[in-house]
Structure 1
């Protein structure tokens, strides 16, 4: 185990859930809080929040999602729909013997949190999502076609579709460089025509105060072990998820939600995200919603950890578990 990871004094175990073995980092006692990471991360993305929440009376569990880190990585992209991911999380809640959990998710973890709350609101006490709002399912257009029409082939979502394409492009760089390219993103993730997104992203060799070289190495070492295919498979399953979501067409997220987003998130100002998350449609889909705009970019829980931790803790305390 990397010495940097050991410094955070979390317990590690692998749990059988939904037909796979899932690695989790765990700390504290009290009501269960699931911290769900995004792309391209592992449980370690929540290192600051794990300590803060555990110190304030919560049982914090941060899994590596399927395909990531020390969790199993099924080979087929069809095994990475949101129904699979939600099934994994329900299995975790069951494993810890809880009827309900608090759920906190960032990026793909936010998507997982949205759908966990949509499919099984009876298992979610309250939801905190970061960076990715809930978008309604289009009744007519599949997800990938919609994204292609909006952003073209330079969008990372489109480039990740073809098996092997992104793997070959990423392989031109060492894992440390790949992690720096993504963790330090400040611009939109759309490459010019005929250019791979990994080539387009800037490599910044000087790190900001919130990210240490040792932190980058924790991520890089895990992706060197696992590769990126499991992470790419979430994107490759997006159209299948769209097909499977048809029964929930028009459904609302009814659990209490706090949504946080950085004011420098790509697309926040120029892409209409600010208007959407502060507008009527989002609130109609998520009636019990609080929106918080923070100072920061995409990886907000690492960049602005104390503010994010405080926001999470205050929201959980507003919604205490039934005694």
Structure 2
């Protein structure tokens, strides 16, 4: 990762580690689960060489950034507050920045656009679309997921404090990272209690795809060995709390230019009703009126920015160049 600089900054009451490279308009990269700044390594190198300043933090609870103990310290307000503090510290000279988010990072990117559109020039969301805020259903997210997918669904299994962390530790952090990052089934991810997770026998080795090396796995594993998974899964433990906090934004639209990119094998893309929402005129386009393009990449699964790094770099560059 030649030329990538690392530093730790005090933002929003925590110490946040950030990787950065380049000069020019800032692109803020927001990682997902279970990732780190490192998942953006290809984008940092490519976009910095094309005249941008790439900034990729470890989010709270991850890597070399602080991990507050309280579950309630991981709400959408905390996460966006961290990013605002980061931008104030590293990009005070820029009124607005470009933003790219993947997985949980995509959700946080949507929150940033919703709460502080004055900070965002344009947004590229990978994998996770904006979801209409509609508490009128009165069904909280975890309850809805449990009703649709059952108690074994991974987001439901993440709710009990300490439980999934113990299971992951028993399996082994390196093995867990391999399993997550190579998961390619579009089906719902389940972790039934008392059985092997990820749908295949533990004895069978996990074969790494060409875009993922043993060195990559070891880097991820080294950080999660140090922090554990509690901070990361605490994001999921705030799904219902976020639902309540977002009530004031009921019916709100995203008012920044957006490009959405996903893979046709992404498990998120195959969640019930999501394809219809993404592609219908009364769905995503209605809630994100400045949505310029939806791209569905063939044969690509969830970790799209790593699996198809060059193509994603091109999508990001071509879109952001419109606003220079």
**Scaled by the length of structure 2, what TM-score is found?**
0.93
Which residue number corresponds to residue 290 of structure 2?
288
Residue number in structure 2 paired with 1:248: 249
**Superposed, which structure 2 residues align to 1:183-198 within 5 Å?**
183-187=181-185, 188-191=187-190, 194-195=193-194, 198=197
* CA separation of 1:193 and 1:216: change in aligned 2, threshold 3 A: closer
CA distance in 1, matches of 2:125, 2:173: 27
Distance 1:175 1:285 in 2: 39
Distance in structure 2 (CA, Å) of the matches to 1:202 and 1:107: 27
Give the superposition deviation at 1:269. Answer: 4.6
Give yes or no for the alignment of 1:228 onto 2:232. Answer: no
Matching of residues 120-199 of structure 1 within 5 Å: 120-139=116-135, 140-187=138-185, 188-191=187-190, 194-195=193-194, 198=197
Unmatched runs of 5 consecutive residues or more in structure 1: 1-6
Match of 1:300 in 2: 304
Q: 1:70 aligns to what?
A: 64
TM-superposed deviation, 1:78: 0.3
Change in Cα spacing, 1:209 to 1:197, as seen in structure 2 (3 Å) is same
Q: Distance in 2 between matches of 1:197 and 1:136?
A: 35
Q: How big is the shift at 1:200?
A: 3.8
2:30 aligns with 36
Q: What CA deviation, in whole Å up to 9, does each residue of 1:217-254 have, x standing for no partner?
A: 11011100111000010001111111111110110001
Alpha-carbon RMSD? 1.6
TM-aligned CA distance change 1:266 to 1:99, over 3 Å: same
Q: Which residue of 1 aligns with 2:279?
A: 278
- Supply the distance in 2 between the matched residues of 1:134 and 1:270 (Cα, whole angstroms): 14
1:316 aligns with 2:320: yes
Q: Aligned equivalents of 1:274 and 1:226: distance in 2?
A: 35
Distance in 2, Cα, partners of 1:78 & 1:209: 39
Pairwise CA distance, 1:17: 0.9
